[in-house]
């Protein structure tokens, strides 16, 4: 009985902790498509190159983008400013190619393997973005800046922390793409299988 009471008290303490407060939101994940044409693997891939999302000067097969906004509660306490809570609203949008006409059965089969692999690749980017948002929560909720009763200094301190986390996420994303598209990488294999017919 005593062990049960201790366990219940421990669970209550965990549920009341800041970590539990971080778990009460979920990202919104959406899929948008762009139309491509073709009746063979090479034609579909060529159309992706012509119509894919533009990233800088090049076009990508697919793209993961996000919009992140926050509802934050800053409170002045004894001359300091404390970020008491921060609730994110995260919308992740995956942009994927979609054939505009039915495909021949053999090509359709190859396409399904290709698009499943591309979708899984983009989901990794999505998971990295969610991880970044959770790290932002951990790095900022509870942050206190002394001598900041108007809660103005705290924002520059937060910007510095957020910039570091954002840059780390972008670099991890670039590194992942480099491996996936590199020699023997998963995306490279998917492209070759689509273009070469299996």
pLDDT digits (tens, 9 = 90+) for 62-121: 999 999 999 999 999 999 999 999 999 999 999 999 999 999 999 999 999 999 999 999
Residue 10 pLDDT > 90: no
- Which H or E run contains 68? strand 63-77
Residue 58 pLDDT > 80: yes
Domain residue ranges of the chain, discontinuous segments joined by + = 18-196
Which pLDDT belongs to residue 198?
64
Decide if 89 contacts 71 (C-beta within 8 A).
Answer: yes
Give residue 56's pLDDT band: very low, low, confident or very high (50, 70, 90): confident
Which pLDDT belongs to residue 55?
86
Residue 19 pLDDT > 60: no
Q: Which residue has the tokens 């190159």?
A: 49
Q: Which residue has the tokens 């609203």?
A: 89
d(CA 22, CA 13): 15
Which pLDDT belongs to residue 161?
87
Which pLDDT belongs to residue 129?
97
Question: First vs last Cα of the chain: how many Å apart?
Answer: 62
């Amino acid at each position: 009985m005593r062990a049960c009471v201790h366990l219940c008290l421990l669970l209550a303490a965990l549920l009341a902790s800041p970590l539990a407060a971080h778990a009460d939101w979920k990202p919104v994940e959406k899929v948008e498509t762009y139309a491509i044409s073709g009746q063979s693997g090479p034609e579909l891939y060529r159309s992706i190159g012509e119509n894919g999302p533009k990233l800088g000067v090049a076009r990508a097969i697919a793209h993961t983008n996000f919009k992140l906004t926050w509802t934050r509660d800053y409170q002045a306490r004894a001359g300091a400013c404390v970020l008491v809570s921060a609730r994110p609203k995260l919308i992740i949008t995956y942009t994927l190619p979609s054939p505009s006409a039915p495909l021949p059965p053999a090509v359709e089969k190859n396409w399904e393997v290709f698009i499943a692999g591309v979708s899984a690749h983009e989901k990794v980017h999505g998971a990295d973005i969610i991880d970044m948002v959770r790290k932002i929560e951990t790095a900022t909720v509870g942050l206190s800046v002394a001598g900041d009763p108007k809660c103005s200094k705290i924002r520059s301190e937060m910007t510095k922390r957020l910039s570091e986390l954002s840059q780390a996420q972008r670099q991890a994303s670039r590194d992942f793409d480099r491996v996936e598209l590199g020699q023997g990488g998963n995306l490279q294999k998917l492209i070759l299988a689509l273009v070469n017919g299996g």
